[in-house]
Amino acid sequence: MDDHDITRHDYGGKIETDCKKMVQGMVEMFDELGELALTRIYAELYRLNNNFDIGDIPQTDLDHFKLTWMLGLGELMFFSMADQPKLEDIKSAFYDELDYSAEERNAKPFLLQAKNTLPKIIRENSDFMERGIFNSTMSNREEDTPRNRGLGPQMATIITEVSFAGNRVLSPAFEKIRDTVEAEFNNAYGHCAIACNAFLVV
């Protein structure tokens, strides 16, 4: 796992775009980073067990992973884009895209529950809301691997649990999967925050 602190920063140099293009770009970026995270998860599972079969992960689990991953990044970006004059339009268009994706995956009830839960979790994290701290290193575990605190690790745990906790085949590797999700979600948050903050929706 990466051993470094992550704090939200603001960047200048705005690029004007419209709401439709902004949301399309966000969805594509979140989706590609989610696919990269899944690739890293597969690699870790193969490393732990060379007999691992991707078919051991049901499509429903993968759908839940992608929806939670994308919604989580979207909600985080909304907080970092508080100065966008058309933020409510961005939110509405983004939710429409996710609703369509959830309908295709037959997962609208799952997405509805996530939409009711994730924003509340973000708002209740004072380190993030008041100081912009997304991830902060703590003392090491006994095996001398870094242990982090903050909204990043919390979100990674939620994504991992709602996606893979019910899969008995993956249960021996659950902590490794969670660590991989944390590292990838932290990286995704950093890249997305910089990218989204570069645009002004007009």
- Summarised one tens digit per residue, pLDDT across range 89-116 is 999 999 999 999 999 999 999 999 999 9
Most confident of 5-14, 20-29, 46-55, 138-147: 20-29
**pLDDT score recorded for residue 170:** 92
Count of CA atoms in the C-beta half-sphere (13 A) of 9:
9
Tell me the pairing of strands 199-201 and 15-17: parallel
Compute the distance between CA of residue 122 and CA of residue 76 in angstroms, rounded to an integer. Answer: 8
Q: Which of 134-138, 150-154, 193-197 has the lowest mean pLDDT?
A: 134-138
Q: How far apart are the first and last CA of the chain?
A: 39
pLDDT, tens only, 138-176: 655 555 555 678 899 999 999 999 999 999 989 999 999
Q: Output the pTM of the full model.
A: 0.88
91 within 8 A of 77, measured Cβ to Cβ: no
Q: List the structure tokens of 54.
A: 């991707």
Instruction: Place 1 in a pLDDT band, splitting at 50, 70 and 90.
Output: very low
Tell me the pairing of strands 133-137 and 148-149: antiparallel
Compute the distance between CA of residue 180 and CA of residue 122 in angstroms, rounded to an integer. Answer: 21
Instruction: Place 45 in a pLDDT band, splitting at 50, 70 and 90.
Output: very high
**198 in helix, strand or coil?**
coil
